[in-house]
Amino acid sequence: MKTLEEIRKIREEKRKELDLRVNLKANTREKHILVCHGTGCTSSKSPKIIEKFRKIIEEKNIQNVRVVQTGCFGLCAKGPIVIIRPEDTFYAMVKPEDCEEIINTHILEGKIVERLLCKDIDNSVVQRLDELNFYKKQKRIALKNCGIIDPENIDEYIAFDGYKALEKVLFEMTPDEVINEVTESGLRGRGGAGFPTGKKWYFTKIAEGDQKYVVCNADEGDPGAFMDRSILEGDPHCVIEAMMIAGYSIGANKGYIYVRAEYPIAVHRFQTAINQAKEYGILGKKIFGTDFDFDLEVRLGAGAFVCGEETALLESIEGRSGRPRIKPPFPANVGLWGKPTLINNVETYANITKIILNGAKWYSSIGTEKSKGTKVFALGGNVVNVGLVEVPMGTTLREIVFDIGGGIPDGHEFKAAQTGGPSGGCIPAEHLDTPIDYESLAQIGSMMGSRWINCNG
């Protein structure tokens, strides 16, 4: 158990210690070797890279160097990725046998290992992450901590304003004020349908019931979509914190996150995060000494695509076959075990803490008239830079596919991009300049849907 004072102290001290992760001009002799531990890089052996680095550092007794497992950096096509901060050197397609050279040349001699640098889409060799075209047009809000913190270390989350939004909400805001803030931010459901999030919170708040629930839909079933997975793997605490804020606002003290069993790393990280939050007394009874209690449980899916539909998901949490219920009544009135239930998608929750800390005005200044904020997309198929991207709403498909994605491999012509998963539509080249938001995608016959962009060339 930690008191609020102790948590504030961790925030202050840890933030100084980790400054070099975000401040590239940090004046320090320390170096942090960040190794992507997301699904893509893990599949291409990044855990072995971490192990190897740690072994070499120990054998050579090197001081002031820390190896950190982080969430997804986004550029999965170049994985496994290793980034060294504060200098921000970006090494691509690293193999365990490259670790020795990185330590000897980069860490000990202070020289760049040229052969491990990656080529950008214009064929220039890039040394630093922020020089890559892939990142230039991106704006990271939901993915803010992904690739910066160790997701299995709650202190690192706390260092970067973690649980500060919860503190603000519990001590400075009424539930109505929180809901107003979310409403005014213009945030809409990131699960694909785009329902105004604040409205959903409000409906659940005014619904009558002695018990209410907060649910997170992490049944990211559409093939090709992996942004929710990446958030859970890279920054699980931000979802926990947002669910708690939602609980405070609607009057719920119990939450469930429904995750696909096909996502073992995400399940493990999220469960670890819950355990750590409980240990710190952040989840539990009388949170931060207030009257607010909140408990959170993970529920696993078992390979049923339909369980991404909210009422089927509720059936599954209750332990039954996931058959959708008839709507109305909507879950806001009759949800889990017949009680009022708020269901939001992972990415929706990932925006909440930032809205609370920076304000609705800030959030609504990003994006288009009707679609505010940013949107995370899984960029896949026939495109050079396969990976995870977060861009302001209103960014055009051309910018995503060409400026960020690097276009179609081998100079092939772009034919079409499919958005919204299997239920979406194929967008031909003539619509490449369409700004991406909920309305414009619907207008040209596709949809935001499951938020993946599959390119065909």
40 touches another protein (CB under 8 A): yes
Nearer to another protein by C-beta: 82 or 360? Answer: 82
Stretch that binds another protein, among 35-43, 234-242, 279-287, 402-410 (CB under 8 A): 35-43
Stretch that binds another protein, among 23-31, 153-161, 205-213, 319-327 (CB under 8 A): 319-327
222 touches another protein (CB under 8 A): yes
Residue 25 Cβ vs another protein, minimum distance, rounded to whole Å = 32
282 touches another protein (CB under 8 A): no
Question: For residue 212, which amino acid is it?
Answer: K
Select from 11, 14, 20, 39 the one that contacts another protein (CB under 8 A).
39
294 vs 343: CA distance, rounded Å: 16
Q: Which of 70, 64, 96, 95 is nearest to 83 (CA)?
A: 70
Q: Which of 118, 140, 115, 121 is nearest to 129 (CA)?
A: 118
234 vs 45: CA distance, rounded Å: 17
Nearer to another protein by C-beta: 45 or 140? Answer: 45
Phi, psi of 255 (to 5 degrees): -130, 155
Nearer to another protein by C-beta: 161 or 222? Answer: 222
378 touches another protein (CB under 8 A): yes
In sequence order, which residues have a C-beta less than 8 Å from that of residue 200 and are 6 or more positions away? Answer: 189, 332, 342, 344
Q: Which of 352, 306, 424 is nearest to 200 (CA)?
A: 352
Q: Which residues pair with 387 in a beta bridge?
A: 379
224 touches another protein (CB under 8 A): yes
Stretch that binds another protein, among 109-117, 273-281, 314-322, 389-397 (CB under 8 A): 314-322
Select from 6, 279, 318, 369 the one that contacts another protein (CB under 8 A).
318
Stretch that binds another protein, among 41-49, 104-112, 192-200, 203-211 (CB under 8 A): 41-49
Q: Which 3 state secondary structure label does DSSP give 82?
A: strand
Q: Is 246 left (phi over 0), alpha (psi -120 to 50) or beta?
A: alpha
Helices (H), 60-103: 99-101
Q: Could you list the residues that contact another protein (CB under 8 A)?
A: 39-40, 42-44, 76-77, 79, 220-226, 229, 261-264, 299-305, 316-322, 378, 380-381, 386-387, 421-422, 452, 454, 456
